[in-house]
A = this chain, B = another copy of it.
Amino acid sequence: MPKNCNFIEKLREVGLRPTKQRVNMCEVLFNREKTFHFTINDLVKMISEKMNQKISLATVYNTVHAFEKKGYLKEISIDSHKSYFDTNTSAHHHFFDEDTNELIDCDENDIDPVNIKKNITGKKINSVEVLIKVASDNHNQK
């Protein structure tokens, strides 16, 4: 039984057809020890290498968005020019290293739960995200 049966089933469960491209993308994204962060460009390269052939940019966008809608991926926006996706879809926070442009997960021990004391009337909270921008002490930021 090939190891990608996992992903074929997983895709079916959420109503996505297990196409060659999607299964390959699943393997690139989820068949690993630790979750990670990537940009669309990163991903295009990784999948093309894995498949040993080009994958259409449009397919990568479509599929990433399909995965995002189904809760397989989460977008993390740093500023208007830097946007990442995260394969860790659980609620968690991030450090962003402005020297290296690296996004780093906070684990539960790094930060106390955020205590929100007032809410917007008639609205429910969908997400709470903390972004901590760091840089080396001597770094000339922005």
Contact = CB atoms under 8 A, between A and B. Distances in A.
A95 to B, nearest CB: 6
A127 B134 CA distance: 7
Copies in the complex: 2
Given A134-B126, A135-B124, A114 B117 contact: no
Contacts of A124: 134-137
B120 A111 contact: no
Contacts of A75: 79-80
Nearest to A76: B79
B119 A111 contact: no
Chain A contact residues: over half helix, strand or loop, or mixed?
A: strand
Interface string A32-53: 0000000000000000000000
A109 interface: yes
A70 to B, nearest CB: 10
Given A126-B98, A128-B132, A114 B116 contact: no
Given A99-B123, A129-B132, 9 more contacts: A75-B80, A77-B79, A95-B120, A98-B126, A110-B118, A111-B117, A128-B133, A129-B130, A130-B130
Interface of A: 68-69, 75, 77-80, 83, 95, 97-99, 104, 109-112, 114-120, 122-137, 141-142
